[in-house]
Amino acid sequence: MTTTNSLVLALAQINPTVGDLAGNVARIRKTRTEARAGGAHLVVYSELVVAGYPPEDLVLKPAFQRAVREAVEGLARDTADGGPAMLVGAPWADNGKLYNAALLLDGGKIAATRYKHELPNYGVFDEKRVFASGPLPGPVAFRGVRLGVMVCEDMWYPDVAECLVESGAQILVVPNGSPFETDKLDERIGLAVARVSETGLPLVYVNQVGGQDELVFDGASFVLNADRQLAMQMPAFAEAMRIVEWTPDAAEKWRCAPARIDKPPEGAEAIYRALMLGLRDYVNKNRFPGVILGLSGGIDSALTAALAVDALGADRVHAVMMPSPYTSRESLDDAAEVARLLGVRLDTAPIKPAMDAFAAMLAPLFKGANADITEENIQSRARGLTLMALSNKFGHMVVSTGNKSEMSVGYATLYGDMCGGFAVLKDVYKMTVFALCEWRNGNLPAGALGPAGPAMPRRVITKPPTAELKPDQTDEAALGPYAKLDDILHCLVEKEMPAADIAARGHDAAFVARVRRMVDAAEYKRRQAAPGVKITRRAFGRDRRYPITNGFRTES
């Protein structure tokens, strides 16, 4: 029988920083104070919120484990004040094992602990490396209500929810650290609906928000009632706290009163905001004063500049045009116009003196050899050297401007255009670059610090992309049409499709084979690339771990 007639929950999607225990605890306390003012009985936080997620091997340090325990115990003591209880996530050592734990803090103490049962060990996740699997959990009793706590991955399979409903849970509560991917929110809600359908119980889903290295967490926390109806949804890509009120119905089933539903962004807007948040948090959490980038007059650097200005503000973005003898008047004009539209500082550093110096220095060693891609790469590396020198001198982090299409096939120069501390477009295919530029020219994203209106002149989007490292050069002459290239790359990288199946989509079989060879040959470059925001199901990095030294080759 139900022993209380109401329950007020506060859902807190906050932006923790891995390892910043003091900062994370301060954020937790701030939202608890706000929740108290709203009359909340319990504040629910995201997965591992005290430590930040994902903490990776940091959790193996005994000193870190002790510091986390002290932080949690301090938060537990806070709850002796009669204010709301807290459900927090933390790495938790217990009898010689380390768990991914959800801890109920109430009445001045740690009132209950529940350990994550399903540990993800795929894609970017390595939880079996650092955590032990907890037993199938029973519900947590709180103020007369039995809460079924499932930590993140526990919701992706039916076993934990089934165990909880069989042992008397009345509301499913799911703390999460679920990274953004395109179309991921629909998948989350679909799984939540499946658990609600199986159990007949309502479900509370609280997700982290913010950037952590290559991952971006989009928040968008929500509540489903037992009839599978969406009762509340929080904003995406922003910290927020939302109060929801619960009462039992005539059948003593708990139901969440209708609350605000923030419609999440979709398509290009969702990707743009993920990139913007990922860049902002990488720069700010690592305490860089700002960023510097090469502004070439091309589409990739224009989009990178727009993202940087929207993320950080124009005063923290420094652009440098580094023309060579092959740089067109169009490129010079377009770079200047991008800088004007975005309001950023633009300096010019011609690289011809560096090209001449390298040519003179290497002439005795290159005697008798024809000019080739070597001289093109020297141009790229002269630009990379220039940006790194400015970064070293003034402290701004270099943002590289290459995209996923280029990184896939190795159309990038090591220690040249690949120089940088962060590659914001690393997981963005070229056709998506075009779509993002079109979207940004017509929209100002929520939370952006940049100016309203177009971020680049129309010609930047419509002219043929080119590296301008030799006369009459275009990217598509070297790589083929980007629309075809990107479809093949998606099939190879994200889907691991056989070449014959890719050709059956309407692609030339010889071109598919060529692209596959380029992807295989470029692994050593990708291994040395800067980190960048993950937006697809399979980004380069921990999502896709191929050996550099690899003798296996196939055209099938």
Q: CATH number for the domain including 90?
A: 3.60.110.10
The answer to whether residue 205 scores a pLDDT higher than 60 is: yes
**Is residue 260 domain-resident?**
no
Q: Say if 506 falls within a structural domain.
A: no
Residue 368 — pLDDT band, cuts 50, 70, 90?
Answer: very high
Beta-carbon contacts of residue 541 (< 8 Å; ≥ 6 apart): 124, 214, 531, 534
Q: Tell me, yes or no, whether 511 lies in a domain.
A: no
Q: What's the rounded Cα separation, in Å, for the pair 478 and 340?
A: 32
Question: Based on the domain organization, do 304 and 400 belong to the same domain?
Answer: yes
Task: Report if residue 407 sits inside a domain.
Answer: yes
Among the candidates 419, 454, 475, a domain finishes at 475
**Looking at residue 185, what is its pLDDT?**
87
Judged by DSSP in three states, 528 sits in coil
So what's the pLDDT on residue 544?
84
Q: Evaluate if residue 46 carries a pLDDT over 90.
A: yes
Set 116, 484, 525, 534: catalytic member: 116
**CA 498 to chain CA centroid, nearest Å:** 29
Residue 546 lies in a domain: no
Mean pLDDT, residues 235-245: 96
Which residue type occupies 247?
A: T
In a domain, 528, yes or no: no
358 and 462 in one domain?
yes
Whether 218 and 276 map to the same domain: the answer is no
CB contact at 8 A, 514 and 492: no
> For the chain, how many structural domains are there in total?
2
Give yes or no: residues 236 and 287 share one domain.
no
Residue 380 shares a structural domain with residue 311: yes
Q: Are 70 and 77 contacting, i.e. CB atoms less than 8 angstroms apart? A: no
Check whether residue 70 and residue 119 sit in a common domain: yes
> For 453-492, what is each residue's pLDDT tens digit?
999 999 999 998 888 788 888 888 888 899 999 999 999 9
The pLDDT score that the predictor gives to residue 556 is 61
Does 420 score more than 90 pLDDT? Answer: yes
Helices 430-442 and 482-489, axial angle in degrees (round to 10): 120
Residues 150 and 213 in one domain: yes
Active-site residue, 152 included = yes
In the set 127, 152, 163, 430, the catalytic residue is 152
State pTM to two decimals: 0.94
Same domain for 359 and 275, yes or no, is: yes
More confident residue, 480 or 193: 193
Task: Identify whether 541 is part of a domain.
Answer: no
Task: Name the domain boundary from 451, 475, 499.
Answer: 475
Residues 47 and 134 placed together within one structural domain of the fold: yes
pLDDT single digits (tens) 486-501: 999 999 998 999 999 9
Verify that 215 and 116 share a domain, yes or no.
yes
Asked if pLDDT for residue 429 goes beyond 60, the answer is yes
Handedness of CA 418, 424, 429, 430 (dihedral sign): negative
Q: Flag whether 143 is in a domain.
A: yes
Residues 283 and 220 in one domain: no
305 and 343 housed in the same domain: yes
Q: Domain span at residue 286?
A: 268-475
Give the pLDDT band (50/70/90) at residue 2: very low
Q: In CATH, what number is assigned to the domain containing residue 308?
A: 3.40.50.620
pLDDT above 50 for 534: yes
Question: In this model, does residue 62 exceed pLDDT 90?
Answer: yes
Residue at which a domain ends, from 255, 283, 308 = 255
Known catalytic residue at 463: no
